[in-house]
Amino acid sequence: MDGLKMNDGYVIPRLGLGTFRISREDAERSVEFALRNGYTLIDTANVYLNEEAVGRGIKNSEKPRGEFFLTSKIFPNLFEDMERAVDETLQRLQVEYIDLLLLHRPYGNIKKGWQGLVEAQKKGKVRSIGVSNFSLKQIQQIVDVTGVTPVLNQIELNPYCPRIEFQKKLEALGILTQSWYPFGGGKNPKLLKDPVLVEIADAHHATVHQIILAYMAARDVLAIPGSRTESHIKSNLEALDIILTQGEIDRISALRKNEGAPDFGRLFYRAFSTNYFEPKK
């Protein structure tokens, strides 16, 4: 699968399978199916509570470890003991290393959390390290402490919330942009029925979902749409074959409404304890 080079030299696939809001059973099945059908990037997180299932899906796929890219994320209430958090993440996923590990939200002790990821990288437990939902100011804070720049910032980004200027600023720092919310979700129920997207989809004999992912690819925005349906998983991957014209890209960018998903991160941060993420015995 085509990919983009990160600032540490590793290449990350443009498109992957996300597992947010996917049950353990569905995550295991979807991960196995995706890896058997062309996907090379799987994304999960501690707070999704399905890392163990993702690990089983990986194992069931029988795909060699060096042939897929695995991302997970550490939630803020674990930043104070990152060594333990990383080790338990590896344990749940049943892998010897993680390709990309992110600080999931910019709450808590982000400086200590980032230092922990840097150490995990030095020990070979993690190959690349990045952040999710961080502002430029917050990124600068962790870079100032360690001298290490994140390879990627995973953020909300979709045609109604395109984040074009923010992406440019990240690129100037050598940081890639990845969308965790490419289809807008419940906050933007009209997105998938937008007349402009429908028109462009019809012109390419494609679905609106595919056009959105083709738009992301055209902008060098990585994307990790989640799905528990095999046909959708296949269809999403086929979006990379769609080439949009510059005019179509501009029309989609013009749909901007500055709408975004509600930020539940602080609520989760306050509600969950470290023990919540301990592996079940």
How far is Cα 163 from Cα 175, in angstroms, rounded to an integer?
Answer: 14
Report helix, strand or coil for 55.
helix
To 10 degrees, the CA torsion angle through 103, 173, 214, 9?
A: -80
Q: Which residue type does 278 have?
A: E
How far is Cα 111 from Cα 26, in angstroms, rounded to an integer?
Answer: 35
Report helix, strand or coil for 132.
strand
How far is Cα 119 from Cα 81, in angstroms, rounded to an integer?
Answer: 12
CB 1 within 8 A of CB 54: no
- Hey, what are 81's tokens? 């003991």
Q: What is the DSSP letter of 123?
A: T
Cα-atom radius of gyration of the chain, to the nearest Å?
A: 18
Q: Which of 39, 48, 160, 181 is catalytic?
A: 48
- Residue in this structure with the two tokens 């996300």, named with its chain if needed: 18
CB 114 within 8 A of CB 103: yes
39 is catalytic: no
Which residues are part of the catalytic machinery?
48
